[in-house]
Structure 1
Amino acid sequence: MLLTSSQLSVCVVVSACNPINKMLRRETRLRRGYLYRKSQEDRVRTIEEKKQKLKSALDGEDYNRLIPTEVCREAVQLQKLLEYDDEGAEGVSSHMDDEYKWAGVEDSKVMVTTSRDPSSRLKMFVKNVVMRHDVPDIGTMSEAYPNLIFHNFSSRLGQRVSNILKYLFPVPKEDSRRVITFANQEDFISFRHHTYKKTDHRNVELSEVGPRFEIKLYMIKLGTLENEATADVEWRHHSYTHTAKKRKFLSME
């Protein structure tokens, strides 16, 4: 049996579409699974928060106080659930934990992208960067994996941001003398880079090795670079948030 040219073209188109269809089906399946895990996580987190409120009222800091109104109806059932909780097992694992399941086992792979023409935000960032050669009395750059210090990331969003930053770096060795600090103050994150040496058994001497800059969270997207256009926006800094000057997003203070 011979195929005509039109039949051949149809066969080629169909075979070429198969990999695309498989990819779309896979994306749909992953998306369904993600939405299901997220809905389950929200439900479990609500129960966990109520359990902690009840626990605090019964034997915590709020001992001997009235049980909060929002947990009164479910107090008996929540107390039974508390009896099965293991010590130190507080908290809820989230869909975001999947991002870091290989942390400490495999080194992270960091991808930084910029446009051909720098955007206004990038130009503004460059103006706030103090390069290594501009740091006075600069120390020697160490190639050891750094120890990390995070200051004032106490809100849920702050803890999320500190995790994102933390897992950009490999696990340091115990004798590493290199330190990177991310310090949050009024939602501006200061980056500082030091090495240190012990001067005696009680004191250490810090040497700044740069660079030095300030950054501000603009957006968190749930997705990878190839799916950026369809990725969910977990958090975004909107222009109207400037009106709430007293509100802090990364800390509880």
Structure 2
Amino acid sequence: MAKEKKRKQPASDAAPPAGGEGEGRSERKGKKHKRAKADVILPSQIKNKDKRSEPPERQVPRTIENTREPDETVCRPDDQELFAGNDADEFNAVLKQHMTPKVLITTCRFNSGRGPAFIEELMQVIPNSHYVKRGTYELKKIVEYAKNREFTSLIVVHTNRREPDALLIIGLPDGPTAHFKLSKLILRKDIKNHGNPTSHKPELVLNNFTTRLGHRVGRMIQSLFPQDPNFRGRRVVTFHNQRDYIFFRHHRYIFETKEKKVASKDKKAKASESKSKPEKEVICRLQQAQTVCDVAQECGPRFTLKLLTLQHGTFDTKSGEYEWVHKPDMDTSRRRFFL
């Protein structure tokens, strides 16, 4: 009998692929995804510089600092009233170098623990500073003593349970008085790879004191230091304000020279050796290049300040008038700052 010819099945009756119907769909999705990727043009693939700059830039991430609540007291460069106030405030004579800063440092009545060590390092940070033992004298008598000897500022280090916990800065002779909470104190001996400061006048750096209150506090801190730093000493004292916390750091810059090996092709050597050696060999000569890099060495101490009160005049707890007082209800919003 003659063999019957097998009829070809129509395309609709063809068997599904070996992987099944689900696998065919996943393959089609994969191909579509690859095509979509191929259609996206990256900025690095655009040859024209002008067209390459047209794609939108990356968006700036939202942080607590750049989403802070609007504040009418933020200082602006064209604020003429602010500059006029600077010429009439209590720090003008020192900051314009009509007077040399002279700082008296004392303690509370019962000073112990790390208080004396902190004062010793604070005296190395602030030039022309002098220490007087408090004893049993009242603070008002200490203020009068400092006025009579032409001190421009008075710093009182307060200790609690043998640990420094507050700092009182009094501008002389007429104030103001700033009361700071002191925390996270680390002395020089506890800082790894610390350096020892020299007697040169340091350079002062103040960061992020943006409001009128912050501007006033910054000028008060600035009046503690001479306005003619000695850059040969390479000392830098930094007060960095972030979210109303003032971080203090003291560094000394060191310039080091490092030798770097650079491989460069020697054309003459390559031409002379090309006859005897294969062309694939590249003859390189190592050159010694010196690079200068600066390294910041921390000298200490390291601590954090938070402003609690700012008072008119010198220290007076009974009849003193306050410019600004920190209250608990001010901390209801994380995006509200005062300095």
Runs of 4+ in 1 over 6 A off after TM superposition: none
Which residues of structure 1 form unaligned runs of 5+?
1-48, 54-88
In structure 2, give the amino acid aligned to 1:93: A
Corresponding residue for residue 134 of structure 1: 190
* Distance 1:228-1:170 versus aligned 2 partners, 3 A rule: farther
Distance 2:233 2:82 in 1: 31
Taking structure 1 as the reference length, what is the TM-score of the superposition?
Answer: 0.56
Question: How many positions carry a matched residue from both structures?
Answer: 164
- The alignment status of 1:116 with 2:146, answered yes or no, reads no
The structure with the largest strand share of the pair is 2
Alignment partner, residue 234 of structure 1 = 323
Alignment partners' CA distance in 2, 1:127 and 1:98: 29
Kindly indicate whether the alpha-carbon contact (under 8 Å) linking 1:192 and 1:210 is maintained by their aligned counterparts in 2. Answer: yes
Q: Report the alpha carbon displacement of residue 202 of structure 1 after superposing the two structures with TM.
A: 6.4
The structure with the largest alpha-carbon Rg is 2
Q: CA deviation at 1:126?
A: 6.6
Contact 1:147 1:176 in 2 (8 A): no
* Partner amino acid, structure 2, of 1:182: F
Matches within 5 A, 1:55-204: 91-94=82-85, 97-103=88-94, 104-117=97-110, 118-119=159-160, 122-123=164-165, 128-171=184-227, 172-199=229-256, 203-204=293-294
**What is the CA–CA distance in structure 2 between the aligned matches of 1:97 and 1:195, rounded to whole Å?**
34
Q: Matched residues in 2 for 1:168 and 1:109: separation?
A: 8
Percent identity for Structure 1 against Structure 2: 33
Q: In structure 2, what residue type is equivalent to 1:198? A: F
- For structure 2, the residue ranges without an aligned partner over 5 or more in a row are 1-74, 111-158, 167-180, 258-290
Q: Is the 8 A contact 2:182 2:305 kept in 1?
A: no
Query: In structure 1, what is the equivalent of residue 337 of structure 2?
Result: 248
CA distance in 2, matches of 1:184, 1:160: 13
What TM-score, normalized by structure 2, do the two folds share? 0.43
Give the aligned residue type for 2:310.
I
Q: Cα offset for 1:238?
A: 1.1
**Does 1 or 2 have the higher relative contact order (CA < 8 Å, sep 6+)?**
2
The residue identity in structure 2 corresponding to 1:107 is T
Q: Does structure 1 residue 209 correspond to structure 2 residue 299?
A: yes
Q: Specify the SS of the correspondent of 1:93.
A: helix
